[in-house]
């Protein structure tokens, strides 16, 4: 039986502890904001199908990681099976912005030689008082690190939540269509469904009976 999806992308959500990774994933997949919600171990996994263009279904495998250092080795296995990363900072905590470049480098070093594409999320933009990171700084950092985009997001107020996942998914899909993301049998970050695999062309030689 063929899969009901055309492409499958692994997406990992990273960033310092308490930037709001679990809340964001919960809002995106369940549609609610629950301040008391805590996943066991702080780590979670969800599946979400996204429809693109006519007839293109992209299955997203979404890995929520824990920001604390003691969970880092588990997070690494999620990084290895992903092609995209939502890297998050909290706009009310300056140190989470300062740590973005080292998160970015750590991920790239770890997944090498496989690619990873990033969207930077400036989270908790609903907090009018106590903001410590300007939007222009987030945009400049995303540009400097060659990320797909910077988006200001509030899970609490449901601002730009689905846009963050859509921007990342569409960016990866477009790069793949342009031939910029190679697939490998031993890498599960980006998988092409059986319905999309092209049949090898019939060559003149094999088609000819002489
Ligand atoms: N103001 C505001 N607070 C938020 C928002 N999203 C999450 N929070 C709060 O931020 C805190 C941390 O949220 P979590 O989702 O647990 O953060 P996390 O990044 O998963 O944390 P770790 O699992 O420890 O790495 C909680 O108290 C949330 O209620 C938001 O959009 N705005
Ligand atoms: Mg969490």
Label each residue of 71-103 as H, E or C. HHHHHHHHHHCCCEEEEEEECCCHHHHHCHHHH
Q: How far is the CA of 97 from the centre of ligand 1 (A)?
A: 15
pTM of the model: 0.91
For residue 42, the ligand 1 atom closest to its alpha carbon is 23
pLDDT at residue 24 tops 90: yes
CA 64–ligand 2 middle distance (angstroms): 7
Q: Select the more confidently predicted residue: 199 or 16.
A: 16
Name which residue leads in pLDDT, 201 or 122.
122
The tens digit of pLDDT for each residue in 100-114 reads 999 999 999 999 999
Nearest CA owner, ligand 1 atom 2: 124
Within 6 A (CB) of ligand 1 lie 17-23, 35, 42, 66-68, 123-124, 126-127, 154-156
Residue ID of nearest Cα to ligand 1 atom 1? 124
Nearest CA to ligand 1 atom 12: 18
Instruction: Give the model confidence (pLDDT) of 131-187 as tens digits.
Output: 999 999 999 999 999 999 999 999 999 999 999 999 999 999 999 999 999 998 899
Nearest CA to ligand 1 atom 27: 35
Kindly report the backbone phi and psi dihedral angles of residue 113, in degrees, each rounded to the nearest multiple of 5, phi listed first: -90, 10
Contacts of 184 (CB under 8 A, 6+ apart): 114
Which of 16, 22, 23, 70 has the most ligand 1 atoms within 8 A of CB, as the residue to mutate?
A: 23
Answer yes or no: is pLDDT of 28 > 80: yes
Least confident of 6-10, 42-46, 125-129: 42-46
Please report which confidence band the pLDDT of residue 198 belongs to, taking 50, 70 and 90 as the band edges. low
pLDDT of res. 206: 45
Instruction: Looking at the structure, give the CATH architecture of the domain made up of residues 7-196.
Output: 3-Layer(aba) Sandwich (3.40)
Question: Does residue 67 contact residue 93 with C-beta atoms inside 8 Å?
Answer: no
Atom of ligand 1 nearest to the CA of 157: 31
Q: How far is residue 96 CA from its own chain's centroid?
A: 18
Q: Are 107 and 85 in contact, with CB atoms under 8 Å apart?
A: yes
State the average pLDDT over residues 67-80. 81
Find the 172 Cα to ligand 1 centroid distance in Å: 26
Does residue 209 have a pLDDT over 50? Answer: no
Ligand 1 centre and the CA of 1: distance in Å? 40
**Span of 22-36, 66-80, 196-210 with lowest mean pLDDT:** 196-210
The answer to whether 12 and 85 have CB atoms below 8 angstroms apart is yes
Q: What is the mean pLDDT of the chain?
A: 89
Confidence (pLDDT) at 167: 98
Neighbours of 199 (CB within 10 A): 5
Q: Which atom of ligand 1 is nearest to the CA of 16?
A: 25
Predicted confidence band at 19 (pLDDT cuts at 50, 70, 90)? Answer: very high
């Amino acid at each position: 039986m063929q899969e009901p999806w055309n492409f499958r992308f692994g997406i990992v959500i990273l960033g310092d502890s308490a930037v709001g990774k679990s809340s964001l994933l919960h809002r995106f997949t369940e549609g609610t904001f629950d301040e008391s919600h805590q996943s066991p171990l702080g780590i979670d996994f969800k599946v979400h199908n996204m429809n693109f263009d006519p007839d293109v279904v992209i299955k997203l495998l979404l890995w929520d990681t824990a920001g604390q250092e003691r969970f880092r080795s588990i997070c690494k296995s999620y990084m290895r099976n992903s092609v995209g990363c939502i890297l998050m900072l909290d706009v009310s905590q300056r140190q989470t912005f300062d740590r973005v470049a080292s998160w970015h480098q750590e991920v790239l070093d770890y997944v090498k030689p496989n690619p990873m594409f990033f969207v930077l999320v400036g989270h908790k933009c609903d907090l009018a008082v106590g903001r410590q990171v300007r939007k222009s700084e987030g945009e400049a950092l995303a540009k400097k690190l060659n990320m797909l985009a910077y988006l200001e997001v509030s899970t609490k107020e449901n601002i730009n939540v689905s846009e963050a996942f859509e921007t990342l998914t569409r960016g990866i899909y477009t790069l793949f269509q342009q031939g910029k993301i190679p697939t490998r049998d031993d890498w599960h970050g980006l998988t092409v469904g059986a319905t999309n695999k092209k049949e090898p062309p019939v060559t003149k030689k094999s088609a000819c009976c002489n």
